[in-house]
Chain A
Amino acid sequence: MTHVLDPGTLAAGTRPGPGPGTAFDDVTRSDAALRAFLHGLPGVDQVGAEQRAATLGTRSIKTTAKAWAIDTAISMVDLTTLEGADTPGRVRSLAAKARRPDPADPTAPAVAAVCVYGDLAGVAREALAGTGIRVAAVATAFPSGRASREVKLADVRDAVGNGADEIDMVIDRGAFLSGRYLEVFEEIVAVKEACGGAHLKVILETGELVTYDNARRASWLAMLAGADFVKTSTGKISPAATLPVCLVMLEAVRDFRAATGRQVGVKPAGGIRTTKDAVKHLVLVNETVGADWLSPDWFRLGASSLLNDLLLQRQKLRTGHYSGPDHVSVD
């Protein structure tokens, strides 16, 4: 049988980061210092990163491993609705599905969170009371992030006030792309403060940052500013989550923990629609950062239609045959 040579190695995290443990305060003292730091991070070779992600995508996950992966993926889903047409009714219906994804099978795990716009966080809060399922709300003028800082902070405070446990903010991509890194940093710090006790997920919108170098720099920027999670995308821009971009972000959180001791989560969101995609992401986590990240506390999948495919595959694994779309609930 095939076995990993040394399963403990990923946890070791021995790689020294680009600075001493707590001295990162220094790199955010000025725009120039922050720029020098971010541009001093090792580059990402696009061809190599894509090749590595593709190779990991060929892992063959079968039987017991597949069953574990499907249940774990379900428990990592941030079940999301972010439409202009969202209503309290729709959010309640989504909450019901989050609590019990497969009405016919109580052994199917609940999802990690329900993700909505801030004004509906209260509805979600109420519908999920007592379940342990978290309420995530997008804020900071999601998805474009084009509003003044005061408006963004008010957006955050409103969502937290409505009962959100987690805030999914967007970074100012315009500022990032024009090199005003300190501005982006300070905004994340301010949002983190406005979050109070709520967890902060920072959406990089990698589809607009375009390069993997930018994805790595933005990840570090967000982590330095206090992000609890780094998240790929809003889901409103294509491409959204891809395997290579997730790989680069996982490498960033791995290196950040090695350098600072603080663990940050990763959330690919948008474009993950099939069980196969979800399993590939779990393989990526497993072989890049290891078992420490293989839980909903540290890895989430932002998705909506994915859940039904996971449930169909779960039924298939249990019964030996495919059922069909009428055997899972419509969202």
Chain B
Amino acid sequence: MANPFEYAPAPESRSIVDVAPSYGLFVDGEFVDGSGETLKTVNPATEEVLSEVAVGTEADVDRAVRAARRAYTRVWGPMRPADRGKYLFRIARILQERAREFAVLESLDNGKPIRESRDVDVPLAAAHFFHHAGWADKLAYAGLGPDPRPHGVAGQVIPWNFPLLMLAWKVAPALATGNTVVLKPAETTPLTALLFAQVCQQADLPPGVVNVVTGAGETGRAVVEHADVDKVAFTGSTEVGRSIARAVAGTRKVLTLELGGKAANIVFDDAPVDQAVEGIVRGIFFNQGHVCCAGSRLLVQESVHDEVIASLQRRIGTLRVGDPLDKNTDIGAINSHQQLERIRELVGIGEAEGAQRWQPACDLPDRGYWFPPTVFTDVSPAHRIARDEVFGPVLSVLTFRTPDEAVAKANNTTYGLSAGVWTEKGSRILAIADRLRAGVVWANTFNQFDPTSPFGGYKQSGYGREGGRQGLAAYLKGASH
């Protein structure tokens, strides 16, 4: 029977956003032409070119770093901390006022559903600025020493999965602690960072405090390797993170890395099943699975495996995949062709290794980059889909029989960013969380973020924390957390 309650299209209007045909770099408070090539940024849902942005060269990066140094020495460093806080509050308020604009632009450039950019990315980004604005004049009371000092110029390279939110995670603590910033947004998602640059102008932020240099890998390398950068912060792949660690080794630069993950989401037989299924869905299909802390390994107790998988499949069948700007869309587009290829490759490997692939009956748009939600059962811990980060909507299901086995399997990964535990038994939550080697452990929930809560990983998931009191330490000299 056809469903009589077919939701009519409910697209968010894109007229609220003014996308310029081309963008320069934001250096020293102004938009300036880059001295090199340009790159095109596309809407991954349609492959339509949205705009052309400059590719920052070494010379461009050098100009930006010099502007940041000047601003640090002359204005931002000496400024009264309470005044720095005022700027951050102002930025936070503007982000809220222009929330719809940011949400629409983020969904256009990234492919994520508007429901998520509207309800998660943008409000959280504003929350990070509010949170850190409050810290600006209270750093002496953060337990990080009596008079913690900033590093100076921070070079920050961020990923494409949460373009504005990762910007906020980087820029807000850096500014609150008195550093100035040269930010390199991801190659495929530069637009909200450029809109943020406009917000900096609107907030009358002193020139040079925030500089945005767009580009690809080479531009990022120039930021990281610039001799006058004091602090490097990177979020992205473990592979690039390693090369950055190598580049920074032996210099006086301070480094924080937030890299990949292969989180275990552990479901015990006494879990609240319906909410656990929601949590599994949220864990792996939120943001198309482009989440470093995604719950990509489901560890389910054998005695409830069939029941949980049946519920999960039924629930996945109700997910709405399609136009990211439609307010009822649950799953949007894969961010780039390159990422889509990687997902396809790993899914192919999963099948070749003998895991059972399941996808709901699926009808995807013809244009754009799309991948259906995918569940692999009969996965062994030796399979690559149980070890490699897919960074897409692909869930690997493994089973366990005892709590010890659950912990052993959960920790059997080169990563250690996040994990989830589902059980109605409080004592078990505490006991298991204590033994999981992961920076974040969620209990009976997943993928919840808050600026007051530190986020970061163990092992190949990186080092340093973002958010909370611990996150401030990353931007202050001699502060340990």
Judge whether A5 and B5 touch: CB under 8 Å. no
B363 at the interface (CB under 8 A from A): yes
A291 at the interface (CB under 8 A from B): yes
Judge whether A44 and B272 touch: CB under 8 Å. yes
Once bound together, how far apart are the Cα atoms of A2 and B332, in whole Å? 10
Known: A5-B320, A8-B317. A61 touches B7 (CB 8 A): yes
Residue of B nearest to A216 (CB): B274
A329 at the interface (CB under 8 A from B): no
Residues 115-154 of chain B: 1 if any A CB is under 8 Å from the residue's CB, otherwise 0?
1000100000000000000000000000000000000000
Judge whether B314 and A15 touch: CB under 8 Å. yes
Judge whether A10 and B5 touch: CB under 8 Å. no
B48 at the interface (CB under 8 A from A): no
Chain A residues with Cβ below 8 Å from B317 are: 4-10, 12
Once bound together, how far apart are the Cα atoms of A2 and B328, in whole Å? 7
A327 at the interface (CB under 8 A from B): no
A178 at the interface (CB under 8 A from B): no
Interface size class of A (residues with CB under 8 A): 35 or more
Chain A residues with Cβ below 8 Å from B6 are: 64-65
Once bound together, how far apart are the Cα atoms of A26 and B329, in whole Å? 44
A286 at the interface (CB under 8 A from B): yes
Chain A residues with Cβ below 8 Å from B372 are: 5
Judge whether B360 and A6 touch: CB under 8 Å. yes
A129 at the interface (CB under 8 A from B): no
Chain A residues with Cβ below 8 Å from B327 are: 58-60
List residues of B (304-362) whose CB comes within 8 Å of A's CBs. Answer: 306-307, 310-311, 313-314, 316-323, 326-329, 360-362
B279 at the interface (CB under 8 A from A): yes
Residue of B nearest to A295 (CB): B4
Count chain B residues whose beta carbon lies closer than 8 angstroms to a beta carbon of A.
47
Q: How far is the CB of B336 from chain A (nearest CB, A)?
A: 21
Judge whether A290 and B444 touch: CB under 8 Å. no
B32 at the interface (CB under 8 A from A): no
Chain A residues with Cβ below 8 Å from B225 are: none
Candidate in B2, B7, B273 with the most chain A CB atoms within 10 angstroms: B7
Judge whether B275 and A10 touch: CB under 8 Å. no
Once bound together, how far apart are the Cα atoms of A16 and B327, in whole Å? 33
B445 at the interface (CB under 8 A from A): yes
Q: How far is the CB of A12 from chain B (nearest CB, A)?
A: 6
Once bound together, how far apart are the Cα atoms of A251 and B373, in whole Å? 23
A197 at the interface (CB under 8 A from B): no
Judge whether B7 and A59 touch: CB under 8 Å. yes
Known: A5-B362, A49-B274, A251-B274. A14 touches B314 (CB 8 A): yes
Once bound together, how far apart are the Cα atoms of A230 and B424, in whole Å? 26
Chain B residues with Cβ below 8 Å from A49 are: 274-275
Residue of B nearest to A63 (CB): B8
A320 at the interface (CB under 8 A from B): no
Judge whether B320 and A4 touch: CB under 8 Å. yes
Give the contacting residue for B306; candidates A1, A16, A45; CB below 8 A: A16
Chain B residues with Cβ below 8 Å from A169 are: none
A282 at the interface (CB under 8 A from B): yes
Majority secondary structure, B binding face? loop
Judge whether B318 and A44 touch: CB under 8 Å. no
A48 at the interface (CB under 8 A from B): yes
B199 at the interface (CB under 8 A from A): no
A318 at the interface (CB under 8 A from B): no
B10 at the interface (CB under 8 A from A): yes
Once bound together, how far apart are the Cα atoms of A289 and B414, in whole Å? 40
Chain A residues with Cβ below 8 Å from B273 are: 42
Judge whether B321 and A3 touch: CB under 8 Å. yes
A262 at the interface (CB under 8 A from B): no
Q: How far is the CB of A44 from chain B (nearest CB, A)?
A: 6
Chain B residues with Cβ below 8 Å from A69 are: 5
Chain A residues with Cβ below 8 Å from B94 are: none
B433 at the interface (CB under 8 A from A): no
Once bound together, how far apart are the Cα atoms of A16 and B445, in whole Å? 24
Known: A8-B317, A15-B311, A48-B272. A294 touches B5 (CB 8 A): yes
Once bound together, how far apart are the Cα atoms of A16 and B279, in whole Å? 20
Residue of A nearest to B312 (CB): A15
Once bound together, how far apart are the Cα atoms of A69 and B361, in whole Å? 26
Give the contacting residue for A6; candidates B10, B279, B323, B361; CB below 8 A: B361
Judge whether B326 and A1 touch: CB under 8 Å. yes
B3 at the interface (CB under 8 A from A): yes
Judge whether A4 and B115 touch: CB under 8 Å. no
Known: A15-B307, A48-B278. A2 touches B320 (CB 8 A): yes
Q: How far is the CB of B170 from chain A (nearest CB, A)?
A: 28
Residue of B nearest to A17 (CB): B307
Give the contacting residue for B5; candidates A42, A44, A47, A282; CB below 8 A: A282
Q: How far is the CB of B311 from chain A (nearest CB, A)?
A: 5
Chain A residues with Cβ below 8 Å from B314 are: 9-10, 12-15
List residues of B (431-454) whose CB comes within 8 Å of A's CBs. Answer: 444-445
Known: A5-B319, A9-B317, A58-B115. A47 touches B444 (CB 8 A): yes
Judge whether A290 and B362 touch: CB under 8 Å. no
Q: How far is the CB of A303 from chain B (nearest CB, A)?
A: 19
Residues 68-98 of chain A: 1 if any B CB is under 8 Å from the residue's CB, otherwise 0?
1100100000000000000000000000000
Pairs A-B, 4 closest by C-beta atoms:
A9-B317, A48-B275, A60-B10, A2-B322
| Residues of B in contact with A (beta carbons under 8 Å apart) | 1-10, 115, 119, 270-275, 278-279, 306-307, 310-311, 313-314, 316-323, 326-329, 360-363, 372-373, 424, 444-445
Q: A5-B363, A48-B275, A282-B5 are in contact. List 12 more A-B contacts (CB 8 A).
A: A2-B320, A2-B321, A3-B321, A4-B317, A10-B318, A15-B307, A43-B271, A48-B278, A64-B6, A251-B274, A287-B318, A291-B4
14 residue pairs of the A-B complex, CB under 8 angstroms, read A1-B9, A1-B323, A5-B316, A6-B362, A12-B314, A42-B271, A44-B275, A52-B275, A52-B278, A62-B10, A63-B8, A251-B274, A292-B1, A294-B5
